[in-house]
Chains A and B, each alone.
Chain A
Amino acid sequence: MTEKPVAEMSFEEAMAELERVVGQLERGDVALEQSIQLYERGAALKSHCEDRLKKAEEKVEAIRLAEGAPVGTTPADGL
């Protein structure tokens, strides 16, 4: 397995990888040692995904323009 570090994965990559890991474990054709590794990787992927899901917070800003060029943002509340 050429494994990409879990922390560098996008949510979608981590999802796909987690699905693959679970599928592989469920097929039950992996050696015990490997299944432990897979389990650990699956757990890491899951917590990575969970982090991404927990970080869901809304922040709405409007771009401030000066002569057509963005110079900063202004919080846009109440929308």
Chain B
Amino acid sequence: MSDLFEDPIPGQNAPEFTVSEISGAVKRVVEGEFSHVRVRGEVGRVSRPRSGHVYLDLKDDRCVLSAVIWKGNADRLRTPPEEGMEVIATGKLTTFGGQSKYQMVIEDIAPAGAGALMVMLEKRRAALAAEGLFDADRKRPLPYLPEVIGVVTSPSGAVIRDILHRLRDRFPRRVLIWPVAVQGERCAAEVAAGIRGFNALPKDGPIPRPDLLIVARGGGSIEDLWGFNEEIVVRAAAESRIPLISAVGHETDTTLIDHAADRRAPTPTAAAEIAVPVRMELLSWLDGQGARLGRCSSHAVIQRRQRLRDLSRALPRPETLVAQATQRLDHCGERLPAALRMATGRKRLAFQQVAAHLRPRVLSDRTDRCHQVLARAAIRLAGALDRPLQRDRLRLSRLPVSPARLTDRIQVARQRLGDCGSRLTQGLARAAREAEADIRRGKERLEKLLQRLDQATDARLTGGRERLDALERLRQTLGYKETLRRGYAVVRGDSGVVTSRAAAEQATGLEIEFHDGRLALGGKGPRKTKGKTPDQGSLF
């Protein structure tokens, strides 16, 4: 019936599909045509639901392609996709009939070239730096000598061996290894867990908490090291309260953990060198310090002993300090009893002298004398009162002149005249007597003087004569005549005394004088010169 009512439109004889049929048909076509494709594009929105699958968009400037990475693949990815990343995704296209969508199932995803990866890394570094995770003031100083060192690395391989070897050389320490995968998709999470795990260890728990962490990995490609660029690792390193040394890759490799670590070591071996000092060096340093210490202390004592010796030498001996005083004391001590005796003796003597006078009579004598003086004064006092009175009375009685009184006075005067006359004659007689005596004495003196004059004249004459005789005798002795007596002779030539043979030869005649006369030889004697007597000089 239904067919009759239906009035098919021409051209509508194409088979009908159900929605599922057409979806399935499209799916077959798409999957058949695009079973393996590589798509290059920028990663857009990425979501990671709990299922573990990763949903993302790949896009370019005009179109968007939805994509999914199934859980199994997502865990294996070396570089997990991030928004903004330029990637090359490998996989197949499929459809999702439930939402009338097609999408790409990605099996592998890789950054589109190293340059792109570096750009992304730089972007991430800048973002984390902007958060302050790499700031210099976040860096903690490393302990000088850590007791326990925690190493986050692969438990097998050269890296941990290098570290342990170098630690053994320098300063063997207790080392805890936190085993982690150092590459692959588990790397970042495990390394971050290792850093956090060490930090979470209780201080005095069964597992000792390290004082220093080393996060180490050997060299590799940028993709191999990628886990150490992950934000989770960088944050764990930045948050670590235990000082951390990063040693990832070779010297030229730089990962983001290096920026967040407190120190970056170029290699794992270098990390061990940074971690501990050299024990032997410390021991020798310590020996040196010990020696210096000993030297200092002995030096201090020696120096002070020397100083003490010098000072004690300069110090005078105690005996000499007191010697003089002692001597003075002895001297005074000897003189003391005698001085005492003498002093008491003197005092006693003085006392006795004073005491001798101090008899009752002294006092009574004085009182007697005083009595006498007093009595005399009393008598004189009475007289002194009477006398002026009598004198006044007498003068009063004499006031009228009487003849009897005049004759009395003439008598007195005559008597005095007579006295004077007799005294005058007596005086004349006495003067005459004295003059005679004077004359007599003068005569006697004159005679004495005359006598002395004669004696003096005689004495002078006799003295002169004697002197004359003496001088004559002397003259004769000194003259040559006396010499002639002793056998000498004086020879005279023509012109005086001849004193040399030559003169004698030339003389026409010679005359020899002996003491008793002269004898002429040849010619005529030199008479003319006879008058000049040669002096005694010719004799020599």
Contacts and interface: CB of A to CB of B under 8 A. Distances in A.
Interface of B: 143-145, 155, 160-161, 164, 167-168, 171-179, 193, 197, 201, 206-207, 279, 282-283, 286, 289-290, 292-293, 296-297, 299-301, 303-304
Interface of A: 10-12, 15, 18-19, 21-22, 25-26, 28, 32, 35-36, 39, 42-43, 46, 49-50, 52-53, 56-63, 65, 68-70, 72-73, 76, 79
Nearest to B303: A28
B145 A11 contact: yes
Contacts of B175: 58-61
Query: Which 10 pairs, one residue from A and one from B, show the smallest C-beta to C-beta distance?
Result: A12-B144, A58-B172, A25-B296, A39-B297, A11-B145, A42-B293, A62-B177, A59-B174, A60-B175, A22-B292
A72 B201 CA distance: 11
14 contacts: A10-B145, A18-B286, A19-B289, A25-B292, A26-B296, A46-B290, A46-B293, A58-B167, A63-B176, A63-B177, A68-B193, A70-B207, A73-B176, A79-B164
A79 B300 contact: no
A50 B296 CA distance: 20
A71 to B, nearest CB: 9
A63 B175 CA distance: 10
B179 A63 contact: yes
- The interface residues of chain B, by DSSP majority, are classed as helix
A56 B207 contact: no
A17 B206 CA distance: 33
A63 B197 CA distance: 10
Given A12-B145, A35-B297, 4 more contacts: A22-B293, A25-B293, A68-B197, A72-B206
A25 B292 CA distance: 9
B172 A56 contact: yes
A62 B177 CA distance: 4
B268 to A, nearest CB: 13
Contacts of B296: 22, 25-26, 28, 35, 39
B218 to A, nearest CB: 15
A35 B300 contact: yes
A70 B180 CA distance: 12
A39 B176 contact: no
A10 B143 CA distance: 9
A12 B178 CA distance: 27
B292 A26 contact: yes
Contacts of B179: 62-63, 65
A71 B375 CA distance: 150
Contact of B286 (A53, A57, A73): A53
Contacts of A35: 296-297, 300
A25 B300 contact: yes
Most B C-beta atoms less than 10 A away, residue of A50, A52, A56, A73: A56
A73 B207 contact: yes
- Most A CB contacts (10 A, CB to CB) among B290, B292, B296 go to B296
